[in-house]
């Protein structure tokens, strides 16, 4: 099956700080792919490159056969209409009802009459089990419910590509499982491609087809969920099992020595 997104030899830096170094990935149509790694390894930067918010320092990011950073503004706008993004913590419009949140993209990007928009919004809310909340506002929802509304908004236009930035963050175990299963079911129903950036190893391995691990700007491991679970690579083993000791240090990124910060002579 052909790839919807192809990332080829991508480098990216913020000023002099290197984030990604020679990244190669391929996201097949109809697949759910997880991108994992420690905080600050470049996962969210990767999503921004795919969405065209950033341009790579070197290499290319292709979406549906076209290089994203070579598109003009109109072409990029059209490409983004084929993408859906679930932002970390949902990012719902707090002054809009649940109905209007889900309807927002339909009203912004289409000329559909309100009667059709009404039926489509109710269809999307039904898909995430929240049709009865259409008149409520985000502040009246639990965290798990708000994330499911955000998911309904993400798939409002039946996107070809769905990008998830930490979709499980802050959820209780039940809500986490519900959102995980919805990601899988909605992807299969739409025939879409989903890219899930996450720290939640165990839940992700239940729903994804393939996993990429990033550390220090490079891919250190990749494979199917079974291959990842069975991996004997120290990095993967430490991350999957949440071990304190291993190749991934817990440290203060970019900090000087503690003595220097306390202005004490080392």
Helix (H, G, I), strand (E, B) or coil at 133: helix
Express each pLDDT in 161-202 by its tens digit: 999 988 887 777 887 888 888 889 889 988 899 999 987 788
Q: Is residue 185 part of a domain?
A: no
Handedness of CA 108, 109, 115, 116 (dihedral sign): negative
Are 75 and 40 within one domain? yes
Are 54 and 148 within one domain? no
Are 141 and 165 within one domain? no
Residue 211 has a pLDDT of 93
Contact by Cβ (8 Å): 236, 228: yes
Backbone angles phi, psi at 3, to 5 degrees: -85, 140
Instruction: Give the total number of structural domains in the chain.
Output: 2
- Say which CATH number the domain at 235 has: 3.40.50.300
Q: Is residue 214 part of a domain?
A: yes
- List of residues 6+ apart from 151 with CB closer than 8 A: 86, 128, 167, 179, 182, 183, 186
Question: Measuring CA to CA, how many Å separate 173 from each of 121, 141, 179, 242?
Answer: 27, 17, 10, 17
Backbone angles phi, psi at 63, to 5 degrees: -125, 120
Q: Half-sphere exposure (CA, 13 Å, Cβ side) for 243? A: 12
Residue 178 has a pLDDT of 84
Are 200 and 247 within one domain? yes
Q: How far is residue 117's CA from residue 120's CA, in Å, rounded to a whole number?
A: 5
Contact by Cβ (8 Å): 60, 20: no
Q: Is residue 226 part of a domain?
A: yes
Looking at residue 180, the DSSP 8-state letter turns out to be H
Q: Find the helix or strand (DSSP H, E) in which 174 lies.
A: helix 173-190
Domain that residue 126 falls in: 91-158
Q: Is residue 253 part of a domain?
A: yes
Are 153 and 165 within one domain? no
pLDDT in tens, the chain (266 residues): 578 999 999 999 887 788 889 899 999 999 999 998 777 777 888 889 999 888 999 999 999 989 999 999 999 988 888 998 888 766 888 899 999 999 998 888 888 999 999 999 999 899 888 888 898 898 898 888 888 898 889 888 888 999 998 888 777 788 788 888 888 988 998 889 999 998 778 888 889 999 998 888 888 888 998 888 887 776 676 666 666 655 555 555 556 666 777 765 54
Are 53 and 106 within one domain? no
Q: Is residue 183 part of a domain?
A: no
Q: Is residue 184 part of a domain?
A: no
Q: Is residue 194 part of a domain?
A: yes
Are 5 and 66 within one domain? yes
């Amino acid at each position: 099956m052909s790839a919807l997104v192809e990332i080829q030899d991508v480098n990216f830096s913020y000023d002099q700080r290197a984030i990604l170094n020679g990244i190669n990935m391929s996201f097949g149509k109809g697949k759910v792919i997880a991108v994992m790694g420690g905080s600050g390894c470049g996962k969210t930067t990767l999503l921004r490159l795919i969405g065209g918010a950033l341009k790579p320092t070197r290499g290319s990011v292709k979406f549906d056969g076209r290089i994203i950073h070579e598109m003009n503004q109109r072409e990029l706008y059209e490409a983004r209409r084929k993408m859906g993004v679930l932002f970390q913590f949902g990012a719902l419009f707090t002054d809009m009802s649940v109905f209007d949140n889900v309807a927002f993209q339909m009203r912004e990007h289409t000329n559909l009459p309100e009667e059709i928009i009404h039926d489509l919004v109710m269809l999307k809310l039904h898909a995430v089990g929240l049709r009865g909340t259409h008149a409520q506002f985000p502040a009246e929802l639990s965290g798990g419910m708000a994330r499911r509304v955000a998911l309904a908004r993400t798939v409002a236009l039946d996107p070809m590509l769905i990008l998830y930035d930490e979709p499980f963050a802050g959820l209780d175990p039940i809500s986490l499982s519900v959102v995980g299963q919805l990601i899988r079911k909605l992807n299969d129903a739409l025939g879409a491609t989903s890219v899930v950036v996450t720290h939640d190893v165990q839940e992700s391995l239940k729903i994804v087809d393939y996993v990429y691990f990033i550390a220090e700007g490079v891919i250190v491991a990749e494979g199917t969920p079974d291959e990842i679970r069975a991996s004997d690579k120290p990095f993967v083993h430490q991350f999957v099992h949440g071990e304190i000791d291993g190749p991934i240090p817990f440290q203060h990124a970019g900090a000087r020595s503690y003595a220097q910060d306390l202005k004490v002579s080392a």
